Amino acid sequence: MGDFGKVAVMFGGKSVEREVSLNSGAAVLEALLRCGVDAHAFDPAYRNFQELVDESFDRVFIALHGHYGEDGTVQGALEFMGVPYTGSGVMASALGMDKWRCKLVWQAANLPIPDYEILDDSSDLGEVSNRLGLPLFVKPAKEGSSVGISKVHAASALKEAYSKAVKYDSLVLAEQYIGAGEYTVALLGDQALPVIRIEPANEFYDYEAKYLSDETGYLCPSGLSAEHEIEMQSLAKKAFSLIGGQGWGRVDFLMSEERRLYLLEANTSPGMTDHSLVPMAARHAGISFEQLVVRILELAHVG
């Protein structure tokens, strides 16, 4: 293992995903310490970035989720300071956080995505439901961990779902429901890890199903044919590359009844909790949690 110098594990932060980040960062910090890395907790909600220079940190492991950590803001600050950090750069982080603009990039490259509409106060919600069909999803464009998302079964419920989502972001999406399976592909360097099929305990893969429930099912092997799995891994690598993704990440998919794949979203700072998908996929590839965090740290970069 290389000498990483003094490492700051950056977690916590100010977003609504703070609690998830605290869990991710604690797991990463403990794993790095077990590997003999000189790693230290660094919560930007309470510490000034200048301390990274003053205390001679050599690189940063970003375990932040949501705004002010996953959206390019922290990445830009670290680049300006010349401090190497894990994961994607400013552009990819911002695009991964912004579901609408990420969709625009993928659309421009003719990659498959669910149909969608942007909602605002003047939207004709009845027309939206007619065009996209029911059920459909309503979600804030720039939140993670399923925060603010609703599955809408009736047009009459669209207004309430919009009101819920707009509390988290002024940009709100209505998205076509595609319901024959949800999958994810974790990426580590140039490697696509084994596909995981997600079978939520709840009606959809919401916050509770992701982080709190022990009833959510994760299938790895995914049950897909070898050809279908290779297709999904290849599409994940292409989609991640198109937004400028680097180091590690995750790309989520939906599958239709006709077995067609649709890109759902990219995650440039995935969770690292005991319910998280990247460590799960790595484990099935023969990569321990300790090996995973060290590999991610090896891939740290400046700018």
Taking only the tens place, the pLDDT of each residue in 153-202 is: 999 999 999 999 999 889 999 999 998 999 999 999 999 999 999 997 76
pLDDT for res 27: 97
Give residue for tokens 């930007």.
44
Mean pLDDT over 25-54 rounds to 97
211 has a pLDDT exceeding 90: no
User: Which of 211, 229, 249, 276 is an active site residue?
Assistant: 211
User: Which of 162, 250, 269, 276 is an active site residue?
Assistant: 250
Question: What is the Cα–Cα distance from 184 to 172, expressed in whole angstroms?
Answer: 23
pLDDT for res 258: 95
Q: How many CA atoms lie within 13 A of 32 on its CB side?
A: 32
Please, what is the angle between helix 90-97 and helix 99-108, to 10°? Answer: 110
User: Which of 88, 129, 267, 269 is an active site residue?
Assistant: 267
Mean pLDDT over 239-268 rounds to 97
Question: What is the Cα–Cα distance from 183 to 199, expressed in whole angstroms?
Answer: 9
Alpha-helical segments (H) within the chain: 18-34, 50-54, 73-81, 90-97, 99-108, 125-132, 158-166, 207-211, 226-242, 277-284, 289-298
Active site (annotated) includes residue 85: no
Q: What is the mean pLDDT of the chain?
A: 93
Active site (annotated) includes residue 79: no
Mean pLDDT over 24-38 rounds to 98
Is the Cα torsion angle 76, 24, 201, 224 positive or negative in sign?
A: positive
Q: Which of 139-143, 179-183, 199-203, 247-251 bottoms out in mean pLDDT, i.e. has the lowest?
A: 199-203
Active site (annotated) includes residue 145: yes
Active site (annotated) includes residue 298: no
Mean pLDDT over 101-117 rounds to 97
pLDDT for res 189: 97
Cβ–Cβ under 8 Å, residues 188 and 86: no
pLDDT for res 247: 97
pLDDT for res 100: 95
pLDDT for res 213: 58
DSSP 85: B
Task: With cut-offs at 50, 70 and 90, classify the pLDDT of residue 233.
Answer: very high
Active site (annotated) includes residue 271: yes
User: Which of 15, 88, 129, 145 is an active site residue?
Assistant: 145
Active site (annotated) includes residue 252: yes
pLDDT for res 216: 81
Buried b (16+ CB within 10 A) or exposed e, 66-76: bbbbbbbbbbb
Cβ–Cβ under 8 Å, residues 119 and 174: yes
User: Which of 144, 265, 269, 276 is an active site residue?
Assistant: 265
1 has a pLDDT exceeding 70: no
DSSP track, 173-201: EEEE---S-EEEEEEETTEEPPPEEEE-S
Mean pLDDT over 113-141 rounds to 94
User: Which of 71, 117, 206, 252 is an active site residue?
Assistant: 252
67 has a pLDDT exceeding 70: yes
Cis omega before residue 135 (within 30°)?
Answer: yes
User: What H or E segment, with its residue span, contains residue 109?
Assistant: none
Active site (annotated) includes residue 229: no
